[in-house]
Amino acid sequence: MKGRRFTAEEASLLQDIILNRRDVRGNRFHSDPIPEPALQQILEAGVNAPSVGFSQPWEFVLVKDATRRQAIRDSFYQENSKAGDLFFGPRAELYQRLKLEGIVESPLNIAVFYRPPEQAVLGQTSMDEVGRYSVVCAIQNMWLMARSLNIGMGWVSILDPVEVRSILQVPEDRELVGYLCLGYVDEFYEAPELERLQWERRRAMQSLVHHEIFQTGE
């Protein structure tokens, strides 16, 4: 085989990084800034993600200004108060107690946008959504890279994407894919917070994997 050959130990280290990655919320972010070389490594990981037809349809807005982050957090508050009404019984109560974002506590926010193509993109002709999916691949690369640098990251999705675009003065043809909060943290939990709190259970592998055709009657 031509190309770099990784060892079993190296594969196992990647597995450790994947297993130790967490979605980090505001209660555990430190405010000290992310050093420039670390930020560059995170962005480089993003732009080296796969993209359909090598279209690289990602754009990043780095937000540090406190006033601007407060405006984004206001959008979160507004969306989150609507969201709370969708959960019932004990879940409604638990929902209200959850800290779901670290927009102002984290020192750096990155809004990640999709730039739709102006002409046909190789590979994007049957399933248009794969352009946005390329941007998600970039975000996942950034998340793992951040974790390996012991930097926490949280993805905030309880936002009005049009509002975020307007606050950051982003052209109307762009589409918000993810809003990320990054910073050093007190702790990376051993398990996802929503698993610890028994909000959802982990699904068993055998219920997720089918062979040859889909087997119903799970």
Selected from 53, 71, 104, 116, the binder of a copy of itself by CB under 8 A is 53
Rama region for 54: left / alpha / beta (φ>0; ψ in -120 to 50; rest): left
Residue closer to a copy of itself, measured from CB, 47 or 93: 47
The reply to whether 96 sits near a copy of itself by the rule CB under 8 A is no
SS3 label, residue 21: coil
Around Cβ 4, how many Cβ atoms within 10 Å? Answer: 6
Is 106 a binder of a copy of itself (CB under 8 A)? no
Task: Kindly state whether residue 77 participates in binding a copy of itself, applying the rule CB under 8 A.
Answer: no
Could you give the CA distance from residue 62 to residue 55 in angstroms, rounded to a whole number? 21
Contacting a copy of itself within 143-172 (CB under 8 A): 143-145, 147-150, 155, 157-161, 168-171
> Is position 173 an interface residue for a copy of itself (rule: CB under 8 A)?
no
- Match 């993805």 to its residue by tokens: 155
Q: How far is the CB of 5 from a copy of itself (least distance, A)?
A: 6
Contact mark string toward a copy of itself, 9..38, x via CB under 8 A: -xx-xxxxxxxxxxx---------------
One-character DSSP codes across 39-67: HHHHHHHHHTS--GGG---EEEEEE--HH
Give the shortest CB-76-to-a copy of itself separation in angstroms: 9
- Taking CB under 8 A as the criterion, which residues in 186-215 touch a copy of itself? 186-190, 192, 194-195, 199-200, 202-203, 205, 208-214
Question: Which secondary-structure segment (H or E) carries 82?
Answer: helix 66-84
Distance, in Å, from the CA atom of 203 to the CA atom of 48, rounded to the nearest integer, reads 31
Rounded to a whole number of angstroms, the minimum distance from the CB of residue 118 to a copy of itself is 13
Residue 195: what residue type? E
Distance, CA of 176 to CA of 164 (rounded, Å): 8
Q: Which of 47, 50, 68, 69 has the alpha carbon at shortest distance from 59? A: 47
Which of 59, 71, 104, 116 forms a contact with a copy of itself (CB under 8 A)?
A: 59
Applying CB under 8 A, does 49 fall inside the site for a copy of itself? yes
Q: How far is the CB of 197 from a copy of itself (least distance, A)?
A: 9
Among 34, 103, 139, 182, binds a copy of itself (CB under 8 A): 139
